[in-house]
């Protein structure tokens, strides 16, 4: 069971990084990945990633674009 929780936590974290905070919520992402108790999800996320899920959602993730790809040759 701990393995499944870790996988869900990792995927929820990635979803938080990739999502638009104006279009989604922490709750919808947590529910999507199987977390039904939002307080426990927030506590587990904060313990694992040293920031609350709301801060992760607001933090911009690195996005691969044409402007930051190094071209050779």
Mean of the pLDDT values across residues 19-40?
95
CATH class of 2-68: mainly alpha
- What is the tens place of the pLDDT at every residue in 43-66? 999 999 999 999 999 987 654 444
Mean of the pLDDT values across residues 6-33?
95
Domain ranges, ordered by start, for the chain: 2-68
If DSSP states are collapsed to H, E and C, what string results for the chain?
Answer: CHHHHHHHHHHHHHHHHHCCCCCCCHHHHHHHCCCCCHHHHHHHHHHHHCCCHHHHHHCCCCCCCHHHCCCCC
Confidence check: pLDDT of 13 > 80: yes
- pLDDT cut 90: percent of the chain above it: 73
Question: Which pLDDT does position 72 carry in this prediction?
Answer: 55
- Spatial distance between the Cα atoms of 51 and 23, rounded to a whole number of angstroms: 21
């Amino acid at each position: 069971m701990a393995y499944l929780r870790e996988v869900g936590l990792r995927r929820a974290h990635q979803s938080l990084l990739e999502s638009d905070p104006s279009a989604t919520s922490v709750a919808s992402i947590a529910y999507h990945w199987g977390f039904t108790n939002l307080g426990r999800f927030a506590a587990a996320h904060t313990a694992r990633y040293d920031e609350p899920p709301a801060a992760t959602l607001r933090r911009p993730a690195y996005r691969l674009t044409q402007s930051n790809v190094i071209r050779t040759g």
